[in-house]
Structure 1
Amino acid sequence: MKKLNTLMGVALTCYAHFSLAGPIETLNEYNLVVLNDLTSTSEVEGKTIVAGDLSGSASNYGTHLAQNDSSVGSVLVVGSDLSSGTTVNANGHEVIIAGTNNGNINSNSVSNDASQYDFDLIKSEFINFSGYLSELAVNSVLLTSSNNQPSAASFNVGDSVGNDPAVFNITSESFFENNLIQQYDIDLNGQSPSTIIINVSGEMINDSNLGNAVGNITSDVFRENIIWNFFEATEIDLVKQINGSVLAPFADLTNATPIEGSLVVNNFQQNGEVHDALFTGVISYDPDANNSTYPVKVPEPSMFFILLTALAGMMMWNRSKS
């Protein structure tokens, strides 16, 4: 029995490693993913992963999650250190600090075991996923003023999209830096897109001159299906509320108002809340079928693999007994 338990443990450990969630699943589960460092004085309503250090005077996590519910898991996972002077409020949930804890944590459970999180893999998956989205064929268009007069702008879904993803390609200059846009919304145009992907080119993003979102785009039904993909941005400064999930794997991002969706970013100076309108859109993503090099899908282990693992474990066990 002891031998069987040892082999099963080895096999299940390998199984867990080979069934890591991909970026879409992570967006479904985590409200905030910081691929490097987070400095925060605000709150995240859902769960957070920080691959690097966490600093800032005080921050809150899991504020909209049910307390004393073991299925929630860790609401905050920090891959490196919690800085001195930093206070973390976990609202009754578990926290993982893999490095040195120099701060203060209000939590029912604090662990240093982050072994189930492969931070390098998470980063590479999101970088590749962002690149993949940026290359999707455009089928929808942003309509702005044609006479250089202040007016409303509209993200118009193409009339042949149907249930497929609606894909927009815009530049930072044409939208975020366009002071003629007084307000903006999304027009479904009679379609039912499975998700709305807004690819934004440009390295420096600042929305201080942009008008406010109105109408459909401000409802959770829309927010939960939107990805703003800043696939080449290195610096993003948001002073207006953004509706939908934000994917910016290379960017240092600062916000002053809420982000209404999941956020993936390189470094984050958080001065506004991240709300739990988690991404629930549907994207068919198969790197092999697209002949690309985006290694996001992690194949489930076959029974053959598990058998080989068990046999290897048996051999190691026999050697240790001899």
Structure 2
Amino acid sequence: MKKINALMAVTLTCYVNFGLAGPLETLNEYNLVVLNDLTSSSEVEGKTIVAGDLSGSNSNYGTHLPQNDSSIGSVLVVGGDLSSGTNVNANGHDVVIAGINNGNINSNSVSNDTTQYDFDLIKSEFVNFSGYLSELAVNSTLLTSTNDQPSAASFKVGDSVGSDLAVFNITSASFFENNLVQQYDIDLNGQSPSAIIINVSGETVNDSSLGNAVGNITSDAFRENIIWNFFEATEIDLVKQINGSVLAPFADLTNATPIEGSVVVNNFDQNGEVHDSLFTGVISYDVDTVNLTEPVTVPEPSMLFILFSALVGFVFWRKQQA
């Protein structure tokens, strides 16, 4: 029995270290996931993963997390380099920098071990997840001005949603670039959706002419259930606060004001805080079966590799018993 346990432990480690959990679990644990490079002069209240390089002036991570809690793990993981002149404050937590560290880090400990983070797999999963959300059936409607006069807009949840997903499909031009939207909110319409998905089409997004969010959407109870899915955006410029998680796996994002939720983007020029209203909504999604877009090619662990790893564990166990 001890032999079997040793083999199972080694094999399980291979799987655990192959990558993170699915995208929903990642959105719930990580405040910011940058699939390429991050340039920051601001802060992230929760945990951050950067697959590429980290640069900028002064940036802070884990600012709302309890200090000296080993169960939190590393609050900042960087798969590339930390640029010269970059000052990182981890607020008493651990940091991982896989590449060259030419910056200054205030941290409990700094390591370069990223073996448990498969950055290609993380990207592939979020690309697929964004594609999956973009093809959900629409059941809710954005109501805006109909007479060319400035007015309030409302994301009205459909009256048959119940406790299922509320799904909106909008264009960037109809909402973010619509100067007739003086303010906006969400109308639950007597429903209790498990999550609110706002699919936004358009390659470029700029919210400089958009009015402010008001009412329900500005509370944690609402924005922790919202995903803004910019499924085809390549450039996003936010100067207004956005409430809810931002999913934009192909986009270069720039912000000037806080984002109230989890963020997943390709590149990020961060000039405003990312607050820890992490996504907690419920979505039925199986990362192992959904593949609606062309994912990043990621090598699967072969059975030969798993058996070899188990054999290594067995030999090590035998030596320990000798």
Counterpart-to-counterpart distance in 2, 1:311 and 1:113: 22
Give the superposed CA RMSD: 2.8
1:131 paired with 2:161, answer: no
1:7: how far off? 4.0
Per the alignment, residue 202 of structure 1 pairs with 202
- Aligned pairs for 1:1-322 within 5 A: 7=7, 10-17=10-17, 20-286=20-286, 292=292, 312-313=311-312
1:197-230 per-residue CA deviation (whole Å, 9 max, x = no partner) reads: 0000000100000000000000000010000000
- Identity, in percent, stands at 82
Please tell me whether the aligned partners of residues 125 and 294 of structure 1 are also in contact (alpha carbons under 8 angstroms). no
1:112-170 per-residue CA deviation (whole Å, 9 max, x = no partner) reads: 00110000000010011000000000000000111111100000000000000100000
Letter in 2 for 1:102: N
1:19: how far off? 7.1
Counterpart-to-counterpart distance in 1, 2:186 and 2:28: 22
Letter in 2 for 1:169: N
1:314: how far off? 6.9
Please tell me whether the aligned partners of residues 227 and 245 of structure 2 are also in contact (alpha carbons under 8 angstroms). yes
Counterpart-to-counterpart distance in 1, 2:309 and 2:115: 21
Counterpart-to-counterpart distance in 1, 2:288 and 2:101: 42
* CA pair 18-94 structure 1, distance change in 2 beyond 3 A: closer
1:44: how far off? 0.2
The DSSP-based 3-state class of the residue aligned with 1:74 is coil
1:83-104 per-residue CA deviation (whole Å, 9 max, x = no partner) reads: 0000000000000000000000
- Provide TM-score, normalisation by structure 2: 0.90
Letter in 2 for 1:63: T
1:294: how far off? 8.1
1:16-66 per-residue CA deviation (whole Å, 9 max, x = no partner) reads: 136730100000000000000000000000000000000001100000000
Please tell me whether the aligned partners of residues 132 and 294 of structure 1 are also in contact (alpha carbons under 8 angstroms). no
Please tell me whether the aligned partners of residues 287 and 295 of structure 1 are also in contact (alpha carbons under 8 angstroms). no
Please tell me whether the aligned partners of residues 230 and 246 of structure 1 are also in contact (alpha carbons under 8 angstroms). yes
1:4: how far off? 7.7
- Provide TM-score, normalisation by structure 1: 0.90
The DSSP-based 3-state class of the residue aligned with 1:59 is strand
* CA pair 315-91 structure 1, distance change in 2 beyond 3 A: closer
1:308: how far off? 5.5
Please tell me whether the aligned partners of residues 259 and 274 of structure 1 are also in contact (alpha carbons under 8 angstroms). yes
Counterpart-to-counterpart distance in 2, 1:227 and 1:86: 31
1:168-213 per-residue CA deviation (whole Å, 9 max, x = no partner) reads: 0000010001000000000000000000000000001000000000
Mind listing any 5+ residue stretches in structure 1 that lack a counterpart? none
Letter in 1 for 2:38: L
Letter in 1 for 2:155: F
Mind listing any 5+ residue stretches in structure 2 that lack a counterpart? none
1:5: how far off? 8.6
